[in-house]
Amino acid sequence: MLDNFSEASMAISGESTLVYQEVARKVQREKGIRVINFGIGQPDLPTFRKIRNAAIKALDEGFTGYTSAYGIDELREKIASHVNTLYPNGKPVKKEEVIITPGAKTALYLAFLLYVNPGDEVIIFDPSFYSYAEVVKMLGGKPVYVKMKWAEETGFSLNVSELEDKISSKTKMIVLNNPHNPTGMVFDPKEIENIMELAKEKSIILLSDEIYDYFVYDGRMKSILEDPDWRDYAIYVNGFSKTFSMTGWRLGYVIAKEKITKKMAELAANIYTCPTSFAQKGAIAAFDAFDEVKDMISLFRRRRDVMYEELKKNKWIKVHKSQGAFYMFPYIGEILSRANIQVKDFAIKLIEEAGVTTIPGEVFPLEVGKNYLRLSFAVDENDIREGVRRINEFTTRLMKEIVG
């Protein structure tokens, strides 16, 4: 009886990235070597001091009860005025159009829960953040994948023509993520505009996950909030996890027209009541921490450059320099085919034989990633040098054995 789990729960597979951290721990324990971890999806800095202080103060002052399901007004107002400064065209966002959630993941979950009926199709790019497809499946929806196109010189592109082909009468939503996990792309603004136009024209909801919006090293990031008509078709998701190094605080948010945030607040009230009260007080101080954010981004830009230069030394790997987020997504198809090995097994070998954790691209979530590895550069610069050196040494050795 207790083993008869619901169909919804069985539609979800566990977070497979954790498997690799587990193998790394085992190797560290058994072989006594320090495994360098390129598998992590969070900044390695502590949350900035002013944010921590504001939360501590809130705790000391007894701000420990429930809040509104929307989150606290002061934070909603801060978010609204922040996006109004960033994207000053159109009708300003007001606090009623903002709902704070326990992490961006919950924001995405509420958005899917609000719209996906069994049988509905949701268009998801391949590769993508794994959680989109899992939640869609859990709700009985069908992820429809659009393969991105790749070239070493230009990186990944969104393949708008294939997207158009995949639209059917059952298409309910398109999920967009820019800057992009796992590829590190900041997509061409023109491509984003084309998708916005398409969504509008075909009356499809555009769910835009912009959680890496501050992690832009080259190029310009186009936000859906730049369109004065975004309220007609779009739902915007962002969060505090990455920009302010607050992953464990669990704070994200949705910006959408008022009718949507109102319904989401009803769902929230029944699922989790509200986001954590004192964490929200801390997040208010985040809006005074943009100097710290700027320093972090400069640090990450340098790390990105180092990782790219080191990977370029490997003749078996093709790599496009990432422009955003904190991931590099090198192509290793030639190694895999010559060594006749699957990317998942290759990632395990890298941990066991080279002492480096990476995430195999097929975790995100399907076909395209089978020829790529995701490497996070939210890691100390010396470790980036040493980790990529180990990867290069390992692949050179492996290929020598095969090619001779």
* Binding residues among 5-34 for ligand PMP as defined by CB under 6 A: none
Q: Which of 126, 209, 213, 292 binds ligand PMP (CB under 6 A)?
A: 209
Nearest residue (CB) to ligand PMP, 180 versus 281: 180
184 touches ligand PMP (CB under 6 A): no
Q: Which of 39, 239, 324, 369 binds ligand PMP (CB under 6 A)?
A: 239
For ligand PMP (CB under 6 A), the number of binding residues is 13
Q: Which residue is nearest to ligand PMP (CB)?
A: 103
User: Please, what is the minimum distance in Å from the beta carbon of residue 398 to ligand PMP?
Assistant: 30
User: Please, what is the minimum distance in Å from the beta carbon of residue 143 to ligand PMP?
Assistant: 15
322 touches ligand PMP (CB under 6 A): no
The Cα–Cα gap between 298 and 325 comes to 13
Select from 103-111, 306-314, 330-338, 386-394 the region that touches ligand PMP (CB under 6 A). 103-111
User: Please, what is the minimum distance in Å from the beta carbon of residue 278 to ligand PMP?
Assistant: 17
Query: What amino acid is encoded at 344 in this protein?
Result: K
357 touches ligand PMP (CB under 6 A): no
211 touches ligand PMP (CB under 6 A): yes
* Binding residues among 30-49 for ligand PMP as defined by CB under 6 A: 41
Select from 114-122, 137-145, 190-198, 239-247 the region that touches ligand PMP (CB under 6 A). 239-247
Select from 99-107, 257-265, 309-317, 356-364 the region that touches ligand PMP (CB under 6 A). 99-107
Q: Which of 184, 252, 361, 387 binds ligand PMP (CB under 6 A)?
A: 252
User: Please, what is the minimum distance in Å from the beta carbon of residue 182 to ligand PMP?
Assistant: 8
Q: 190: which residues sit within 8 A by CB, 6+ positions away?
A: none
360 touches ligand PMP (CB under 6 A): no
Whole-Å CA distances, 248 to 16, 42, 276: 19, 10, 11
Q: Which residues bind ligand PMP (CB under 6 A)?
A: 41, 103-105, 129, 177, 181, 209, 211, 239, 241, 247, 252
